[in-house]
Amino acid sequence: MSKPVVIVGASMGGLRTAESLRRFGYLGEIVAIGDEPYAPYNRPPLSKEVLAAEVSHEAVAFPIRPAVEDVVWKLGKKVISADLEAQTVTIDGGEKVEYSALVIATGLRPKRQKYPNDIEIGRHVIRSLDDALALRSELQPGTKVVVLGAGFIGCETAATARKLGCEVTVVAPGKLPIRRPLGEALAAEVKRRQEENGVRFLMETEVDDLVGTDRVTAVQLGSGETLVCDVFIEAIGSNTNAEWLDGNDIVNSDGIETDSSLRALKESGSSWENVFVVGDIAKFPNPIFDSTPRRVEHWNIPTECAKHVGQIIAAQSKNDESLADLLAKPFKPIPSFWSDQFDMHILAFGLLGLADDIQLVQGEISGDCVFEYRRNNVLVGVAGIGLRSVVQGYRKEFER
């Protein structure tokens, strides 16, 4: 019997890779290994609907389509190491699994600060379903919540907590929330609308320490101020889940670097022919923008990666004559994301953070509006509050 395709990571990227393999004609065994006990589920609702309504796994689970019902799911199993030369991965407990092709889809985990008084109770992050459910149980009307971090997760969580009746303060070192991707004007508008709904912002400061004995009761700010709180939420970015690949000849620099076909790179610059990277952990060049490899944490990237990788592995398995053309065709997805905060819906395409010029091109910033993001006069992004059809119309501008 031939060796299976092994997918390490059983979230959306893993599921979509399995679907793509079947779609493009791979007939062999597929093994997907994930450290969470749950079948693949949708993560964006964790900071929104799951917190707001305490929904179950079934409410956010992806449907398992008939084509992938035969996938072997090893859930609640953590891969602790890999030997890319021997083509094996090892699961915690000692089980070794051989592969014909390996898909790295282990994604990210939340960063955690280390404090002198490093209390755990009353302290939360949001990345998994269990994270969200644990936090939801503490968000009651009148609960005092401090959110550290003013990116999308921090702002969405703040909005949801506020709608649940909590008293919410966002603390962050930057000048404005979500400023790096959105730019000054739109970031200022996000802050204004959050404040209009009762969220308090303390910007350009940090949390220096936690206060409390058995659980967090306050946070000590760099400004010297002490904020009383019942719940402390860290939303300060992510680290890659790549330690299980240590000791192998790959390029791991805040992401597993790949070639233009999403094959993992070796230190020499050549590629592993049968090792692919999918989703948030993939650091790939995108010729739509330039040749710089980047990790892109937007919601559509795992699916786009999976489509590309599944097609290549399927062609390899059949010695298909299309393989050379597939490998010569660079991966160039159009990144997209959305964010819901109170009644504000933000939709964006592209890599907004690359822009050196940001212009309001439609509407009023206090209402529905659209911004264009350009670098050297070339469009690299578009974002809007409302006006979905207008923003979506820009997709064709990136098909270059």
pLDDT in tens, 338-362: 999 999 999 999 999 999 999 999 9
pLDDT given at position 118: 93
Domains of the chain by residue range: 5-109+238-328, 112-234, 343-397
Residue pLDDT, tens place only, 216-231:
999 999 989 999 999 9
pLDDT given at position 1: 45
The CA distance from 104 to 264, in Å, is 9
**179 pLDDT above the threshold of 90:** yes
Nearest alpha-carbon partner for 308 in 16, 3, 67: 16
The yes-or-no answer to whether 5-109+238-328 and 112-234 have a common fold is yes
Q: How remote is the C-alpha of 370 from its chain's centroid? A: 24
Stretch 53-69: mean pLDDT, rounded? 88
Stretch 189-201: mean pLDDT, rounded? 98
Residue pLDDT, tens place only, 82-109:
999 999 999 999 999 999 999 999 999 9
pLDDT band at 55 (very low <50, low <70, confident <90, very high): confident
Residue pLDDT, tens place only, 292-308:
999 999 989 999 999 99
Q: What percent of the chain has pLDDT over 70?
A: 99
Mean pLDDT of the chain, nearest integer: 95
pLDDT given at position 400: 66
Tell me if 153 sits within 8 A of 126, measured CB to CB.
yes
Residue pLDDT, tens place only, 6-26:
999 999 999 999 999 999 999
What is the second-level CATH architecture of the domain 5-109+238-328? 3-Layer(bba) Sandwich (3.50)
Q: What percent of the chain has pLDDT over 90?
A: 93
CATH 3.30.2290.10 fits 112-234, yes or no: no
Sort residue 36 into left (φ over 0), alpha (ψ -120 to 50) or beta. Answer: beta
pLDDT given at position 147: 98
**316 pLDDT above the threshold of 60:** yes
Which alpha helices (DSSP H) does 221-361 contain, by range?
301-317, 323-328
Residue pLDDT, tens place only, 116-134:
999 999 999 999 999 999 9
pLDDT band at 46 (very low <50, low <70, confident <90, very high): confident
What are 150's two structure tokens?
Answer: 């003013």
Nearest alpha-carbon partner for 21 in 109, 99, 107: 99
Residue pLDDT, tens place only, 143-168:
999 999 999 999 999 999 999 999 99
**200 pLDDT above the threshold of 80:** yes
